[in-house]
Amino acid sequence: MGVYYKDGVVDGSNGILNTFTIQLCHAEYVPVLATESFESNDFVLYPNPNNGSFNLQLTAVSDEVSVNVYDMRGRLILNKEFQANGLVNEAIQLNNAQSGIYLVTIQDGGRKVTKKIVVE
């Protein structure tokens, strides 16, 4: 590895380099607070694919569960919060949903999961 210097003078005269600065960039990954995730048997969305109407089933650990549905552009399509006590079986209806892939994020206390659903 070498360091090269090119003088901007066009007439060919030699110059003196008085100062030289090297800037090194450093990237560091900082861990973020992790949230507890759902076990595969604690949570299910069905049917998938669907026509914009699907069911959410989970065993809640908190009193409040929130459901957010986003399109692939990241726009919030649905926000629903409901009281929970143990087993939850909630019908979700996406009104006027176009065909495509949507992301469903469920938050139950400290647990959070995002799943894809397909609307045909």
Residues in the chain: 120
| pLDDT tens track for 55-114 | 999 888 889 999 999 999 999 999 999 888 788 899 999 988 999 999 999 998 888 889
Rounded CA separation 85/64 (Å):
8
Domains observed in the chain: 43-119 (2.60.40.3080)
Give residue 78's Cα distance to chain centre: 16
pTM: 0.66
In this predicted structure, the answer to whether residue 50 has a pLDDT above a threshold of 90 is yes
